[in-house]
Amino acid sequence: MFFGYRTFKTAVGAGLAIFIAQWLELEFFTAAGIITVLCIRATKKGSLEKAWKLLLASVTGLLFAMVIFELFGYHPLSLTVLLLLFIPTLLKIKAIDGIVTSIVILLHIYTIGTVTWELFLNELSLILIGITVGLVMNLYMPSIDHQIYDDQIELEYQFQRILQEYSRYLRDHLDDWDGKEITKASALIEEGKAKAMRTIDNHFLRHDDYFYNYFAMREKQFIILERILPFISGVTPTDESKKLASFLDRLSAAVNPGNTAQQFMNELDDLNEQFRSHELPKTHDEFVTRAGLFYIIHELEQYLEIKQNFLPDDQRTKMIKFKKKAYRRK
């Protein structure tokens, strides 16, 4: 049975926290392990945020317990009153994520039946041990850059296939495409953005949002590719549609992280001018086709402008080209 690094960190962290609390002879030492488990998250920032909420909620719970139980006694009605006041307070201070740990602390005090300085230090020590061990265990996060590079390569391949299928239809009017590349591209964009956000949340001292911006850029382009699909399917083969098909073939071959948009924008402008110089459509079908082609050109201009506004990272562009060569060899 195999397990991931997060499972390993959770198991080791919980055991270590309990060992430390037990070695210090703290009451309810197993609570330190619970707190550690709750602190270990998928990202460093997520772990730090969770730790802060646990600490805030637990200390607030200690203060509430000291006041409510000492005023009204240690019985179920007092606990009910405490929770009625405590839970809205956690919502107010935005620490509701720490409610599980804080209630465990409250029940410790309820079980002992008195509030002493020693008990207060005991509970505070459990909280600090659990949080500290959890944060230490979460210091190491394996890089997922190689996964993101792979998603980037696969997404660009799907974009190439979509543009090739559009070209094939404009040139030959073949309608045997099942559109699976569109579904794959959509899923890759969502996965890529999620992984890129994880990478951002695993760095405190630098904010590297290249990958997230890249997938966000592709998402905008993908919306355009989806939007022109009905107009592609509404075009009948003409000399003009074949010229646009050739343009899409060239555009497909140039899908990469670098910025080659200006070259294709110039080509598209020339193509637009050529179409405008042609004689007017004589039939309804010709009119529909010409209008559809102009709309597709307009949308492709937006597609290229999105790419032009994206600032590529030269080092990552070289890396993706290198990995693409290895990908093709496979």
Q: DSSP assignment of 155-190, as one string?
A: HHHHHHHHHHHHHHHHHH-------HHHHHHHHHHH
What is the rounded distance in angstroms from the CA atom of residue 323 to the CA atom of residue 330?
A: 11
Q: Answer yes or no: is pLDDT of 180 > 70.
A: yes
Two tokens at 282?
């004589």
What is the rounded distance in angstroms from the CA atom of residue 306 to the CA atom of residue 94?
A: 38
Give the pLDDT band (50/70/90) at residue 317: low
What is the rounded distance in angstroms from the CA atom of residue 188 to the CA atom of residue 156?
A: 10
Lowest-confidence range among 15-29, 177-191, 253-267, 276-290? 276-290
Torsions phi, psi for 312 (to 5 deg):
-75, 155
What angle separates helix 44-72 from helix 30-39, to the nearest 10 degrees? 140
Q: Please report, rounded to a whole number, the percentage of residues in the chain having pLDDT higher than 90.
A: 23
Q: Would you give the end-to-end CA distance of the chain in angstroms?
A: 30
| Alpha helical stretches, state H, 179-281 | 180-201, 210-233, 239-253, 261-277
Give the pLDDT band (50/70/90) at residue 3: low
Contact indicator for 207, 200 with CB cutoff of 8 Å: yes
* Mean pLDDT (the chain, rounded): 83
Q: Angle 128-132-135 (CA atoms, 0-180°, nearest 5)?
A: 145
pLDDT for 314: 53
What is the rounded distance in angstroms from the CA atom of residue 80 to the CA atom of residue 103?
A: 12
pLDDT for 159: 94
Q: Answer yes or no: is pLDDT of 107 > 80.
A: yes
Model confidence, pTM: 0.73
pLDDT tens digit sequence for 126-178: 999 999 998 888 877 777 888 888 999 999 999 999 999 999 998 888 878 88
Two tokens at 116?
């002493």
Two tokens at 217?
């850029």
Q: Which residue has the tokens 């559809």?
A: 292
Contact indicator for 110, 76 with CB cutoff of 8 Å: no
pLDDT for 330: 47
pLDDT tens digit sequence for 230-280: 988 888 878 888 888 899 999 888 888 776 777 888 888 888 888 777 666
Q: Angle 308-276-221 (CA atoms, 0-180°, nearest 5)?
A: 25
Residue type present at position 321: K
